[in-house]
Amino acid sequence: MKSICRLPSAVYLLVAACTSADARTTLTVTNWASFREQQLEEAVARRFAEGRPAVRVVVEAATNGPEYRDMVFTSIAAGTPPDVFLLDNIDVPAFADAGVVLDLAPLAARVGVDLADVAPQVLATLRRGDTLLALPKGWTPMLIAYNKDLFDRAGVPYPRDDWTWEEFRRTARALTRDTDGDGAADQWGFWLDRRVFLWIASLWSLGGDVLCEGGRSASGCLDAPGSVQAFRDLTGLATRDAVTPRYYGLRRSLGDQLRNFYSGRVAMVPAGHFWLPSFRPHVEAGRLRLGFVMLPHRAGTAPVTVIYASGYAVARNVRHKRLSVELAAFLTDSAAQAARAAGGLEIPASRRAAEAVARADTTGWEAAFLRAAPAGRAPWGARVARWREVEAVLPDVMDRIILNGEDAGTVLRETARQVDAILAAPR
């Protein structure tokens, strides 16, 4: 075919731009990646574009949290959504209720995504009923990280995945020591943190819970005998057993638990896979010998943990639906997940990829995280739209019991009514 002709040269140059990079279809990916994560995400996105000369992909990072969710909602409402955006499990209910994202379950097979290769516990965090709001990217359970050197010095055997709460308490007591002989403990067995995401799975493991089944109320569950006892057991680590720094774990800045863990002042901390990049430099420098184990559980009950996950979603009103779904699939395929796993950032959602990573891992850490998957449970944030508001009032439970010495039963009854009011308030 002849090219367009008989046009002024300046106009011709503009028309000719249709074959240049400026005329390519631009797809935008929005996430909340750190600088290191962003480099990985951009590398994956470049590979998608390399196979499609008419497409370019721009990856934009924003701060995660309510602001991120509001930003995405606003862009969707304005008719200018990102083509693909990272969806945190805590925002699944809000996007599901709004009905603004594509159901990717019936589209997954068409773009080469094998959902059968994803652990059902991981898929559950991104589903609402039969609707799949995002293609799973990565996940983590919560485990206990422990300092092997402190165990060895105290002559305490390393914990096993099936250990009970009483075994954990005995271990924590044996690891709480006065190492300088001044009559006061300066090494503690465990770090008890006021942040809910770090203790919610331990509450479940002890037979308690925050909300009742269905997530519509707290009264009768948060203040039930099982939950009261579970909170007494947890807070008793500070008030009765004195195996945790009583004030360090409360009303202090993010990162205190890791600094005390690295320095050898604390032997065990709750941890997710997302902290492995922080742990590795200390391990590689020989300052830390690290192990991971399941959360302790009450005798006679099965172990349980929480699964946190994220995935890539596509808004209903994106301009390039087919390309956007293909991009979401590419960002979550086994090659992309293997690249992220090589960076130590998360567990691949693909079981095959995760198992390959575990086989190649000589530390045993990856295998420990994978063993936790069958005991995983979706967080309340993946099921209850107002969980952020509920979560905001729960740290005060720890403060009131530990710092103020208030009765757990009284605190939980009052908090349950407060949570009920949050859940019942009009949106």
Q: What is the pLDDT of residues 230-246, one digit of tens each?
A: 999 999 999 999 999 86
Give the residue from 363, 387, 404 where a domain finishes: 363
Whether 370 is covered by a domain: the verdict is no
Give the amino acid at 143: L
Whether 247 is covered by a domain: the verdict is yes
124 and 179 within one domain: no
250 and 176 within one domain: yes
264 and 249 within one domain: yes
Whether 369 is covered by a domain: the verdict is no
238 and 167 within one domain: yes
Q: What is the pLDDT of residue 65?
A: 76
326 and 243 within one domain: no
Query: Which residue reads 């055997």 in tokens?
Result: 157
Domains identified in the chain, total number:
2
Distance of alpha carbon 19 from alpha carbon 34, whole angstroms: 34
Q: What is the CA radius of gyration of the chain?
A: 24
Interval 265-313: pLDDT, tens: 999 999 999 999 899 999 999 999 999 999 999 999 899 999 999 999 9
151 and 130 within one domain: no
Burial classification of residue 320, based on how many CB atoms lie within 10 Å of its CB (0-12 exposed, 13-18 middle, 19 or more buried): middle
199 and 161 within one domain: yes
* Bridge partners, residue 61, by sequence: 31
Domain CATH code at residue 129: 3.40.190.10
106 and 34 within one domain: yes
164 and 33 within one domain: no
346 near 178, Cβ under 8 Å?
A: no
260 and 386 within one domain: yes
Whether 132 is covered by a domain: the verdict is yes
225 and 104 within one domain: no
Q: What is the pLDDT of residue 22?
A: 53
Whether 372 is covered by a domain: the verdict is no
Q: 193: closest CA among 149, 159, 237?
A: 237
Supply the range of the domain harboring residue 395: 141-306+378-424
Q: 30: closest CA among 323, 274, 327, 337?
A: 327
- Residue 239, Cα to own-chain centre: how many angstroms? 29
Whether 57 is covered by a domain: the verdict is yes
Helix (H, G, I), strand (E, B) or coil at 378: coil
Whether 223 is covered by a domain: the verdict is yes
Q: Compute φ and ψ for 60, nearest 5 degrees.
A: -120, 130
Q: 337: closest CA among 353, 361, 351?
A: 353
pLDDT under 50: residue ranges of the chain: 1-21, 248, 253
332 and 386 within one domain: no
Whether 275 is covered by a domain: the verdict is yes
